[in-house]
Every structure is written in structure tokens, then in C-alpha cells.
Amino acid sequence: VQLVESGGGLAQPGGSLRLSCAASGFTFSTYAMSWARQAPGKGLEWVSAVNSVGSDASYADSVTDRFTVSRDNAKNTLYLQMNSLKPEDTALYYCAKAREGGWGTPILLQEYEDWGQGTQVTVSS
């Protein structure tokens, strides 16, 4: 399994970024996928998850109505569209695959594995 995040960078408050997660080494279309983040000096925080076919998504309260998760199973790629960015969104963002395949949308960090190396998002003026 290999997960490679990209798309991070520096954004101004109120700005937008789109993260991507390129997946390989497993049947991407049969697993739910998740995004999580880790801010400096803090633990890993679950951000969002999407089911295997992209028909169901869940979000942490801190990003609801600002972030949108999606996936393109033909391209084996997971996305996170981040709008109305805030300084508190500054973190290293990771993607991961669910431990088990299926139709559900797990929302707990321990239900995911094979985290990528992360992409840095910095929100600052």
C-alpha cells in the first residue's frame, strides 16, 4: 500500500487549497478513505472520511461546511477541497485507507491504517 499526499502549501486566511492523495497497491474502490491532520505540538485529529464509492462523507465539526472530501476511483485518488481556511487549519495533513473494505464510512482514527507521509498546510497572512 502506498498513499502519497500533495497539494499543501501556504494560504491566506479565507483562502482555499485542494489536497490530493494518490493511492496504489490495493483495490482503491473497495475501501473507505480518510483525512486527518496534526498541528504542531498536538495529536492526530480526524478530519473527514468518504465511503468506497463516494456516496457518503463525514466531517469533523471544526471543518464542516468548509471542507469537502471526494474521490475519483478511476484515478485512484482522494481529494480534500478546503475553503475559508483559518490559521487553526495549519497542520500536516494525512490520508489513510480503512482497515476493512466495505460500504461503511468509519469515523474513528483507529479504523484506518497505512497513513501517507503528509502534506503541510500553512494558513497565515
What pLDDT, on the 0 to 100 scale, is given for residue 102?
84
CB atoms within 10 A of CB 15: 15
Average pLDDT, the chain: 96
Give the pLDDT of residue 103.
Answer: 82
**Residue 60 reports pLDDT greater than 90:** yes
Across the beta sheet with 2-6, the strand order is 2-6, 17-24, 77-82, 67-72
Per residue in 86-122, pLDDT (tens digit) is 999 999 999 999 999 888 899 899 999 999 999 999 9
User: DSSP readout, 13-45?
Assistant: TT--EEEEEEEESS-GGGS-EEEEEE-TTS-EE
Helix (H, G, I), strand (E, B) or coil at 71: strand
Mind listing the pLDDT tens digit for each residue in 63-77? 999 999 999 999 999
